[in-house]
């Protein structure tokens, strides 16, 4: 590996380290209470280094969310393109969503469980081409496929899509938030039971 490639890899690694530290601090200490200096202390770099990569902490939060959605979209897109029964394909996608949240708890909480801070352009998060809406559109398309294959009752696809998302987000948020002490019946069992129950509610 040449010097140029090594520097590019180091730069990418440091950028990811900054994003990981920021997402953790935003969740643990609150967005308003976290400064660029605090993030720098977390990764043992100078604040000047962080400003090379990010303009301010608002851009940092936005990039945390965008990166989270982008990584999730890659997983969901791959699963949605697999052949076979559309319901099973949808089920795999819903399960992958929960797994992604549990494997990336700080990123998930920063993206899905924190209120959008004051001063942010909230409308842009709801535009059709935003990373978040693209992720939801994958779910919506899978629901349409199930309806077209006569697997689901012919009810409002948007309602079904939002209901499924609400359900998997709920179990993801609970398992992240109450990951210690609550006597869960078993993580896998709970995830599959939740998804099976949601799908049974819209099946023909």
Summarised one tens digit per residue, pLDDT across range 106-149 is 999 999 998 878 777 777 777 888 888 999 999 999 999 999 99
Question: What pLDDT is recorded for position 129?
Answer: 84
- What is the band of 11 on the pLDDT scale with cuts at 50, 70, 90? confident
Distance, CA of 48 to CA of 40 (rounded, Å): 9
Q: What is the 3-state secondary structure (H, E, C) of 103-123?
A: HCHHHHHHHHHCCCCCCCCHH
Please compute the mean of the pLDDT values over residues 86-110 and round it to a whole number.
96
Residue intervals of the chain classified under CATH 1.10.357.10 are: 56-200
52-66 per-position pLDDT tens digit = 999 988 899 989 998
Q: Integer distance in angstroms from the first to the last C-alpha of the chain?
A: 56
Global model pTM greater than 0.85: yes
- The residue written with tokens 């942010």 in the block is 120
Instruction: Read off the pLDDT band of 1 (50, 70, 90).
Output: low
Which CATH number does 1-54 carry? 1.10.10.60
Burial 16-51 (b: 16+ CB within 10 A, else e): eebbbbbbbbbbeeebeebebeebbebeebeeeebe
Q: What's the CATH fold of domain 56-200? A: Tetracycline Repressor; domain 2 (1.10.357)
Per-residue pLDDT tens over the stretch 20-30: 999 999 999 98
């Amino acid at each position: 590996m040449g010097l140029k490639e090594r520097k590019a890899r180091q730069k990418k690694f440091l950028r990811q380290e900054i994003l990981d530290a920021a997402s953790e601090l935003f969740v643990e200490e609150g967005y308003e209470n976290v400064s660029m200096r605090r993030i720098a202390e977390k990764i043992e770099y100078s604040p000047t280094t962080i400003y090379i990569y990010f303009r301010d902490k608002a851009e940092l939060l936005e990039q945390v969310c965008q990166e989270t959605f982008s990584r999730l979209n890659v997983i969901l897109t791959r699963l949605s393109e697999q052949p076979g029964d559309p319901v099973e394909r949808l089920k795999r996608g819903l399960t992958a969503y929960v797994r992604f949240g549990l494997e990336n708890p700080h990123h998930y909480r920063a993206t899905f469980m924190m209120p959008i801070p004051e001063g942010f352009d909230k409308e842009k998060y709801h535009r059709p081409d935003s990373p978040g809406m693209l992720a939801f559109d994958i779910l919506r398309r899978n629901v349409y496929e199930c309806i077209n294959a006569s697997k689901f009752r012919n009810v409002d696809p948007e309602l079904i899509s939002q209901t499924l998302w609400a359900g998997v987000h709920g179990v993801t948020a609970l398992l992240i938030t109450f990951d210690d002490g609550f006597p869960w019946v078993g993580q896998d069992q709970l995830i599959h039971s939740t998804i099976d129950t949601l799908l049974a509610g819209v099946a023909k």
